[in-house]
Amino acid sequence: MGQTLTEDPGAPAPSPQARWNAAHPKEIWAHAALRSALKKGLIEKEPCGVCGAHEVDGHHHDYDRPMDVRWLCRLHHRGVHRKGGRS
């Protein structure tokens, strides 16, 4: 309990995803809160705000506001992150 990802020298190296998760707790919290709200029907996905596609991800521009997302298809979501994360 209380161990970090690097404290056990005999353990396998953590995956890139595990390292990202450990380094970004606020983002993990926001993603989980959004998933929970979607599952409970408290929020609904909308079409991509750029092209209108229906297969979308929620883009958080402020992780302190987990329900405030811009709905983007994978292509446009990646494009936003390539530009520095601002939508």
pLDDT in tens, 39-83: 999 999 999 999 999 999 999 999 999 999 999 999 999 999 898
pTM of the model: 0.75
C-beta separation of 79 from 53 below 8 A = no
71: Cβ contacts below 8 Å, ≥ 6 apart: 45, 46, 47, 48, 49, 56, 57, 58, 59
Asked if residue 8 has pLDDT above 90, the reply is: no
Query: How many residues belong to the chain?
Result: 87
Q: What is the dihedral of CA 7, 13, 16, 21, to 10 degrees?
A: -30
Q: What is the pLDDT of residue 10?
A: 82
Confidence of residue 25 (pLDDT cuts 50, 70, 90): very high
User: What would you report as the CA-atom Rg of the chain, rounded to the nearest whole angstrom?
Assistant: 16
Region 31-44: mean pLDDT is 97
